[in-house]
Chain A
Amino acid sequence: MSDLEKLKDEYIDHMMNPRNYGKIEEYDAKGVGKNPLNNELVEIYLKINKDMIEDIKFQAVGCMSTVVGGSIFTDMVKKESLKEAVFAAEDFLEKLKSAPPSERACGEMVAKAFLASVENLKNKKEGIDEMEHTLFISEDCVTELENETE
């Protein structure tokens, strides 16, 4: 199997078995990454233990790229320290700048949802009563075909 085939196989595996999909009922923080132009969004739930991400789950309303992005990202930061995970999210956002617009928007929703959950955690620690924190993405998830039909 070539590297490209392996990558494709891994991508399909994330579509078939998204990691960490769902909700944490007793969560410590919840963040939402939202596309302001449509109903697409990502929710991220965190369970924290001594600044380490003990558990992380996500849910999405969006396309498969969003689900795969959520699956890969949550898998990557689970059991990591919050500091490292924030760095990973910011690095992820930076790398997304060179991705095609639709994938950029889907990936951005995941990273923003995570950063929103961290913001929610911070706010709760400061005594602010906030159920969830929301951050909006800067790009619309528009496919090439939709652009053509506009």
Chain B
Amino acid sequence: MLFGAFSVDNEEIYNILYDFSMIEFRHLKWFGQKLADENIEISFDREEMSYKAKSNFELLKQLIANIDMVKELYEDDADPLFKRFVTDENYFISKLYNLLKDERNDAKIRAFDKRRELEGFELDEIQTDALTLFLFEESYKEYELIMIYTYVNFYTKDKELSNIFIDLIDESFYHLKSFARMMAKMGILTMPRVIMERVYKFEDLEKFLLEGIEEEEKAKIECKKLSDAIKNDSLSRFFDFINYQENYHISLMKRALNKVRESGE
């Protein structure tokens, strides 16, 4: 749903799909928490997902089929949580069917055509290559952070620590959205690969945070390097803006690190 949203070049459809994907993410959080509370093992392993469609209508039909398939998996629809999932998803399906009724909503999807041009910007080959690689590397890292912090949060008892992780998830969603939408505009949109279990199922939170701070420092360098290489005021300003946000992430992670050391979580 989220990457389907990124792939369409229609603001109305994008906003609807993006909002629905955020609700689906809340479903994942609630369901994950329920599993964690019941001591049931959680895995983010998944099969390859079909999100690449040739047109908006093909995408909407794929999404309807995917939601229908997910609904089949709910075992106990008397559970208030599953009831909520079902009512949400019935509404999503009806809304998607409504979009299909209006031919004006259909358009070719160009998010995967590899044209590597950013409308409104004159980028030479070196700049384009640098931007391409940056977007691939960083979109994966943001996705990875969202999934890791989500997982860690299922088992975090400390409220302050949990709030820091929620802040970091929100920030990473903004970065992921920004990078993925730019990738879609360049025809290189890609859903990040599956996160390996050993990446989010770690024993030592302190070590993870220390390495995370180091990663953020590296991300800042990459962002600055890209901002300098792009030599375009508007794009450079955007990457500087992202770069400054990384500073705050580092301070949040340092706060989390102190908290972990104090509480022994």
Interface residues of A (CB under 8 A from B): 8-9, 12-13, 15-18, 21-23, 39, 43, 59-61, 63-64, 67, 145-146, 149
Contacts and interface: CB of A to CB of B under 8 A. Distances in A.
A104 to B, nearest CB: 18
A12 B114 contact: yes
Given A12-B132, A17-B190, A59-B194, 9 more contacts: A9-B114, A15-B136, A16-B112, A16-B114, A16-B188, A22-B194, A61-B198, A64-B133, A67-B193
B221 A149 contact: yes
A43 B196 contact: yes
Contact of A145 (B48, B196, B225): B225
B218 A61 contact: no
Interface in B100-120: 112, 114, 116
B38 interface: no
B211 interface: yes
B194 A21 contact: yes
A64 B225 CA distance: 18
B137 interface: yes
A16 B190 contact: yes
7 contacts: A15-B136, A22-B194, A39-B211, A59-B193, A59-B196, A64-B136, A64-B137
A146 B45 contact: no
A64 B194 CA distance: 14
- Contact residues on B (Cβ < 8 Å of other chain), bracket: 20 to 34
Nearest to B144: A61
A16 B180 CA distance: 12
Contacts of B188: 12, 15-16
Contacts of A145: 221-222, 225
Contacts of B45: 23
A13 B116 CA distance: 12
A18 B218 contact: no
A21 B114 contact: no
A44 to B, nearest CB: 13
A24 to B, nearest CB: 12
A22 B114 CA distance: 24
A13 B196 contact: no
Closest 6 CB pairs of A and B: A16-B190, A59-B196, A64-B136, A15-B136, A21-B193, A12-B114
A128 to B, nearest CB: 22
Contact of A13 (B114, B211, B225): B114
B199 A61 contact: yes
Contacts of B48: 21-22
A117 B194 CA distance: 21
A146 B218 contact: yes
Nearest to B194: A22
A130 B116 CA distance: 45
Interface in B111-160: 112, 114, 116, 129, 132-133, 136-137
Nearest to A149: B221
Contacts of A16: 112, 114, 188, 190
A111 to B, nearest CB: 19
A22 B222 CA distance: 28
A18 B193 contact: yes
Given A145-B221, A149-B221, A15 B190 contact: yes
Nearest to B129: A8
Nearest to A32: B198
Contacts of A18: 193
